[in-house]
Structure 1
Amino acid sequence: MDNRAGEMSVFVRVVESGSFSEAARLLHMTPSTVSKLVARIEARLGVRLVERSTRQLTLTNEGQFYYDRSVELLGQIEDAEQQLAQGGAEPEGVVRVNSSVSFGSAGIEPLLPAFWQAYPKVIVDLTLSDDVVDLYLERADLAFRVGALPDSNLMARKIGTTRRRIVGSPVYLAQRGTPTTPAELLDHNCLGFNFRRSNPVWPMRESGRIVERMVSGTLIANNADTLRRMALFDVGLIRVADYHLRDHIARGELIEVLPDSALSEDDEIHAVFKGATHMPARTRVFLDFFVPRLQAFLQGK
């Protein structure tokens, strides 16, 4: 009997677990059985899907294509069965979502209660992390990413852009003085990020040029929420996205400094996801609900 869907499921588990032995353990099969199933797919298709080595398993280009389509088709089968079993009822199941800590807490979390009012049977598995995760390896359905997108086979919907601002509390500025030139940042406690991709520099405009000013401070953190709280505790200056700051600025709790010198970097924010054409209903309604509301959030509406 032809069981291509079952073979696809095994292949997907091999890719996502990273090895034949781990996939076999998860599937309660023997490693040799799993290996033979993948070899059977390769023989039928006439192409190699994975490069096998003692250390790791690597997909070929054909293997990546087959994996992507398998995920889409298996999701379509699951969605179809779910809809039929429920008689066309509302979407349900788990949507696995990844976001940066700051964007997730400021933008996504406040919208969740309204989402569950509209779709009470959808479970949101939300992971907040400032590490850029691999959607395939983490088995995530979608992610919200801040910054330029690397080339990939993922689909994307643009949410909007946000600019970074330099701010400090009134108490801190009264104690340390308000910087009027970028050079004066050297005299200030400038709190920053500890990402591997982050540098201890703030790009500034000086005499018509863009200069990367080295800054330093008593704290580096892995998320903007921590930096914002430290600024509110009068610890130092921070440079973070506007959506973290605008309410505090409006209430006078934080004051923007060097607005004419700080380079306005517009960071793009996207929702990235797998399988644009055949995604489960629960993922589709999540995207359709959150994208327009997050766009309004970034615009301050």
Structure 2
Amino acid sequence: MDTIEAMRVFVNVARHTSFTQGAKQSNLSTKLASKYVRQLESRLDAQLFYRTTRSVTLTETGRAYYERCLPMLEQFDELEDLIQHRQKELSGSIRLTASTGFGSKELIEPLLAFQKQHKEVRVELLLSDSHIAVVEKGVDIAIRFGKLQDSNLIARKLKDMRVVFFASPDYLSLNGRPSHPRELIHHNCLLFRSSNDSKNWHFNIDGQIVSYPVSGTFNTDSPRAITNMSIGALGIGIGPYYAVEHHVKSGELELLFEDMEVEPMGLYVVYPENRHLTARVRALVDHLVSWFKK
């Protein structure tokens, strides 16, 4: 048994709390992944997982082993990357997470360019409109909007992103076009749940940041969902400009309060401060920073 390979399988199963998903991450069958873990447990003479028909969870010993496996595998990857870097060829896997809308649209072109340049690098893109725990899930880098709340992450800025307000022509025709944010109290506002203060929208009025309470019949953590509901004339939406740019240009949506927008929020690529970046991860971070600066 290849101990390093078995450790990788064990870590993947632990991350996903699933032999099926862990095996998929390891490019193995579930049966073979289970065999690797059993052999590892036999070699260590210790039980690493509690197994039931519905769940897989780490034992106390398994948790301790998992925490020690991560830095060892990172050091092993770093050693391989050092050799690969000297040979000018990057390989291996990168786990990257981003929001669904941004990751499936704005992130694809730079990732495509990166993978065409580094054909041996495998990228696993995890899309979620909820923040994925970077360290706990073994994510190498994440794309995040706004101020970072996790002080254990290092951030490099990619670009600024406008936060805009919008509605469809049909909604405005039926309900009127608000000329001032105070009028939002009379409108159905589509709430972005991932915001720190989703029930108060903020505006720059005469150089001062002023908040106005809003309410509505729909809330979600997906900018794309808010965009589509707005196109359907349900209400007034808020979200990053990238999510609505195409629909604004096509006339499906109209921007509101453009002269009252607050400062753009930052878009960042982040990674754990205590993790030494492998050559392939560092290369992707540098590539993204360079790409979005253009």
TM-score, normalised by the number of residues in structure 2: 0.72
What does residue 39 of structure 1 align with? none
What does residue 235 of structure 1 align with? 234
Seq. identity, %? 28
- Structure 1 residues 157, 72: CA separation in 2 closer, same or farther (over 3 Å shift)? farther
2-structure distance, mates of 1:181, 1:89? 57
Q: What count of residue pairs does the alignment treat as equivalent? A: 265
What does residue 79 of structure 1 align with? 81
1-structure distance, mates of 2:118, 2:151? 31
- Structure 1 residues 236, 31: CA separation in 2 closer, same or farther (over 3 Å shift)? farther
- Structure 1 residues 206, 114: CA separation in 2 closer, same or farther (over 3 Å shift)? closer
- 26-35 or 92-101, which moves further after superposition? 26-35
1-structure distance, mates of 2:200, 2:247? 24
**What is the CA-CA distance between 1:32 and the residue it aligns to?**
10
2-structure distance, mates of 1:182, 1:142? 37
Q: Which runs of 5+ in 1 are unaligned?
A: 1-5, 36-52, 59-63, 297-301
1-structure distance, mates of 2:44, 2:240? 51
What does residue 258 of structure 1 align with? 257
**What is the CA-CA distance between 1:268 and the residue it aligns to?**
1.5
Partner of 1:133, secondary structure, is coil
- Structure 1 residues 71, 209: CA separation in 2 closer, same or farther (over 3 Å shift)? same
- Structure 1 residues 219, 31: CA separation in 2 closer, same or farther (over 3 Å shift)? farther
Q: Given the alignment, which residue of 271, 291, 294 partners 1:293?
A: 291
2-structure distance, mates of 1:67, 1:273? 19
- 127-136 or 187-196, which moves further after superposition? 187-196
TM-score, normalised by the number of residues in structure 1: 0.70
Q: Which runs of 5+ in 2 are unaligned?
A: 20-33, 47-58
- Aligned residue identity for 1:269: L
Taking only aligned residues, the RMSD between alpha carbons, in angstroms, comes to 4.0
- Aligned residue identity for 1:221: T
**What is the CA-CA distance between 1:185 and the residue it aligns to?**
0.8
2-structure distance, mates of 1:97, 1:148? 19
2-structure distance, mates of 1:201, 1:56? 45
**What is the CA-CA distance between 1:195 and the residue it aligns to?**
3.4
What does residue 127 of structure 1 align with? 126
The question of whether the paired residues in 2 share the 8 Å contact of 1:194 and 1:221 is answered with: yes
What does residue 42 of structure 1 align with? none
The question of whether the paired residues in 2 share the 8 Å contact of 1:17 and 1:137 is answered with: no
What does residue 185 of structure 2 align with? 186
